[in-house]
A and B are shown apart, each in its own frame.
Chain A
Amino acid sequence: MSSNGKPKIAFFDFTSCEGCQLTVIDSLQDHPELLNVVEIVQFREAMTEKGEDYQIAFVEGSCSRASDEPRLKKIRQQAAIVVALGACAHLGGVNALKALHPLDEVRKYVYGDKADWYETYDARPISAVIDVDYAIPGCPIDRNEFISVVKALLLGKKPPIPDYPLCVECKLKGNVCLYTKGQVCLGPVTRAGCGAICPSFGASCEACRGFITNPNDNSMREVLIEAGLTVEDITSIYTMFTTYQVREKIQQKG
């Protein structure tokens, strides 16, 4: 806690596009009063100062190399609360797609003849390395959800992250179901909280917020097959953001 009584918070980034931190900056423009209740001590994307004394750490990005691990562990050691910020930190995100290909091929594809210069391994959510208290899902995060999570943490409450399917928010908005229009969508198995933003603008949900705790995967697959998707199509849509989770499920099933 700083001398002014405000909790100190810090932002960190790992393998990511930094879009979630940009969304945080965006939400600060909508809610500048956030700075009345917290003190930001470290936020590379937005400020020069770099304080190492913080209680809440927001971490964007996945862990994609060995040298990320000690840095993550140091953050965990310092912070009372660690929050995964966005799909990469929460799920591994699109970075985890590289696990579907041989690592050498991926390195050469990305770095060409400089492939040997860079250390890398399969991207994982930060929860694979350290204990994570909460996650703000999404690619990018929803700015309103970020604010509501901060408020909950300041009140000592569990952040209100929904654990029900996106269809709920889509229906409440009165949207025509994308399946009715001949499109496919992962809404029935995806965690709500984004206000069904993609389906509301006619785009399929690709599960950037991850799956709900108890998705009916068998039924979802039947629906996708009935909609004309091949097994390859289904694998592709199911692994866009959630390769790490899908692989974990397969491993659990043996």
Chain B
Amino acid sequence: MAPLYYSITTEEQNVSLTILSKSAFQEFVARLLPHYRVVGPVPHDIGYSFEEIQDVTELRMEYPTTILPPKKWFLPPKETLFKFTRKNGGVIQDPPETPPTVILGVHTCDLHAIQLLDTVFSSGQYDVHYMGRRKKTLIISIECLSPCDEHSFCKDMGTLTADEGYDLHLTDLGDSYAIDVGTQAGADLLQNYSSSSVATKEEIQKLNAVINAKWPKFSYRLDFDVSELSSIMELSMKSPLWEELGNRCLACASCTNVCPTCFCFDVKDEVELDLVTGQRVRNWDSCQLDDFATVAGGHNFRASRALRQRHRFMRKGKYILDAHKHLGCVGCGRCARACLVNITPVSTFNELYRQQETGSH
């Protein structure tokens, strides 16, 4: 957990804490634009989306949440892994390099999700495509000071703040941002492109007041402590809830497609009309789709929607934690917002907990 309070007595301990007025922040972003691809939350239809900006006025640093998480800038919905030709023994051409990128306004739930993805894509089979983008990207996150809506449950999942995973982390103090420096790259960015100042005693007091005021605004929505989640899931394999969810689920995959921690993909070859050259592409896939678990020979080992929903929640509550030491759900609430039949992690986890407490399965 991040420090809930910043010490105001020993300023040496707070050398990483600096202050940037809102207008200086605008100048900072404007100075980044010629040197970096700058991505941040911008209005999109009646929602918000992480998009590349050309002008600082497009940015909306105070936004509830986005439809798709910032993940798409590291793992695009569709990407070319490489181009090939079937002649000359199959020449493979690498994809173009990612430009240096700064992603602004990342909420801490999404920050935790990116940390999980970093672990997933850098361990085992090192994913040069994901990691290539990730290493070229600086993240400037922002502390959430009030709940985005009724679907988020970040406080339960321990993602309402973050003490790592960012290069710079902003907290809105009204007319300025308090900036916590997370990495040397973040410190360099601040030094090279901004005119920030070290936080004064008053500013640290103000920051503490802001942080102090924020926590009570977020409520706990899980009926149990998140440390129990993994064992609750382990005992829920035979719960009757899965059949119930399977009956309701549309298998539309919206839950996984908006999820910041989902990372399943499919790889396909696309050939040009000359039938000689082509490209290998990677698309987001979803465990909720009918044929996701269909293997050669045609057998589908998760043919029912009930089994697929169970698999999804097992991933979120247990399997990912077991494999990668990060919870597979960050409580952002996007899947709950996207689900047309109101299948939500909070209601699912709470119902499984209730069934175990009452011994109803």
Residues on A close to B: CB < 8 A? 31, 33-34, 36-37, 147-148, 150-151, 154-155, 160, 163-165, 167-168, 171-172, 174-177, 179-181, 187-189, 212-214, 216, 218-220, 222-223
Contacts and interface: CB of A to CB of B under 8 A. Distances in A.
B194 to A, nearest CB: 30
A171 B46 contact: no
Contacts of B68: 171-172, 174
B290 A176 contact: no
B273 A216 contact: no
Contacts of A154: 275
A176 B47 contact: yes
B127 interface: no
B249 interface: yes
Nearest to A32: B273
A167 B45 contact: no
B333 to A, nearest CB: 14
A96 B251 CA distance: 28
8 contacts: A33-B273, A33-B274, A168-B252, A168-B286, A174-B44, A176-B44, A214-B290, A219-B341
B58 interface: no
A5 to B, nearest CB: 12
Nearest to A220: B250
Contact of A165 (B253, B274, B305): B253
B253 A164 contact: yes
B269 to A, nearest CB: 10
B7 to A, nearest CB: 42
A234 to B, nearest CB: 15
Given A34-B273, A37-B273, A176-B47, A168 B289 contact: yes
Interface string B132-155: 000000000000000000000000
A172 B250 contact: no
Contacts of B49: 174
A212 B68 CA distance: 24
B290 A164 contact: yes
Residue among A212, A219, A220, A223 with the most chain B CB within 10 A?
A219
A219 B250 contact: yes
B46 A181 contact: yes
Nearest to B337: A180
Contacts of A216: 248-251, 305
B101 to A, nearest CB: 18
Given A174-B49, A175-B67, A177-B338, A167 B275 contact: no
Nearest to A217: B250
Interface string B266-288: 00101111110000000010100
Contacts of A148: 270
Contact of B273 (A31, A167, A179): A31
A114 to B, nearest CB: 46
Given A174-B67, A176-B46, A216-B249, 15 more contacts: A34-B273, A150-B273, A151-B275, A167-B253, A168-B252, A168-B257, A171-B253, A171-B254, A172-B68, A174-B49, A176-B45, A176-B47, A216-B251, A220-B250, A222-B248
B289 A164 contact: yes
Interface residues of B, number: 36
B250 A155 contact: no
A188 B340 contact: yes
A214 B251 contact: yes
A27 to B, nearest CB: 11
B78 interface: yes
B78 A172 contact: yes
Residue among A177, A214, A218, A222 with the most chain B CB within 10 A?
A177
Given A168-B253, A176-B44, A219-B341, A147 B247 contact: no
A155 to B, nearest CB: 6
Contacts of A214: 251, 290
Given A167-B252, A214-B251, A37 B275 contact: yes
Residue among A172, A181, A222 with the most chain B CB within 10 A?
A172
B291 interface: yes
Nearest to B67: A174
Contact of B340 (A172, A176, A179, A181): A179
Contacts of B67: 171, 174-176
Given A171-B257, A174-B67, A174-B68, A223 B340 contact: yes
A171 B68 CA distance: 8
B286 to A, nearest CB: 7
Given A167-B252, A214-B251, A172 B77 contact: yes
B258 interface: yes
B109 to A, nearest CB: 18
A228 B254 CA distance: 22
A171 B340 contact: no
Contact of A167 (B72, B254, B274): B254
Given A31-B273, A33-B273, A212 B249 contact: no
Contact of B247 (A160, A165, A219): A219
A200 B318 CA distance: 36
Contacts of A164: 253, 286, 289-291
A179 B68 CA distance: 17
A176 B43 CA distance: 11
A47 B286 CA distance: 44
Contact of A188 (B44, B250, B271): B250
